[in-house]
Chains A and B, each alone.
Chain A
Amino acid sequence: GQNIDQPTEMTATEGAIVQINCTYQTSGFNGLFWYQQHAGEAPTFLSYNVLDGLEEKGRFSSFLSRSKGYSYLLLKELQMKDSASYLCAYTGTASKLTFGTGTRLQVTL
Chain B
Amino acid sequence: DAGITQSPRHKVTETGTPVTLRCHQTENHRYMYWYRQDPGHGLRLIHYSYGVKDTDKGEVSDGYSVSRSKTEDFLLTLESATSSQTSVYFCATHTSGESYEQYFGPGTRLTVT
The answer to whether A and B interact is: no
- Listed in ascending order, the chain A residues whose CB lies under 8 Å from chain B are none
Using a CB–CB distance below 8 Å, which chain B residues touch chain A?
A: none
